[in-house]
């Protein structure tokens, strides 16, 4: 599902079109990595970048805890000055 959303956004915001075969291969690769966390060598960090003036930016994160049958999420909204 995430892969469809991701590629839809690429098309909507960057006019990048992907074939059905590419989206399917991307989804399969993503699920293989998801199911085998040891296969992923590391997460590349990124720095927050401010939005244009008079805009706000919302950063979100979510996680699942299988053993506890629970999930959590967070969101931070900031303006161009970095104020929450």
- Asked if 46 contacts 71 with a C-beta cutoff of 8 angstroms, the reply is no
- Predicted confidence band of residue 56 (pLDDT cuts 50, 70, 90): very high
Instruction: Identify the pLDDT of residue 77.
Output: 92
Q: What is the mean pLDDT of residues 8-12?
A: 86
Instruction: Identify the pLDDT of residue 64.
Output: 84
Question: Tokens for 58?
Answer: 């919302």
Helix, coil or strand: residue 57: strand
Neighbours of 7 (CB within 10 A): 19
The number of C-alpha atoms within 13 Å of 8 and in the hemisphere containing its C-beta is 5
pTM of the model: 0.41
Does residue 49 register a pLDDT over 70? yes
pLDDT per residue over 18-48, tens digit each?
888 988 888 888 788 777 766 555 555 567 7
């Amino acid at each position: 599902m995430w892969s469809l959303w991701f590629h839809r956004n690429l098309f909507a915001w960057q006019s990048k079109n992907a074939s059905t075969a590419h989206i399917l291969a991307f989804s399969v690769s993503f699920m293989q990595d998801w199911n085998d966390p040891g296969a992923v060598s590391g997460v590349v960090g990124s720095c927050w970048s401010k939005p244009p003036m008079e805009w706000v930016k919302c950063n979100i994160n979510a996680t699942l805890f299988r053993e506890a049958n629970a999930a959590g999420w967070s969101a931070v909204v900031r303006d161009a000055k970095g104020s929450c």
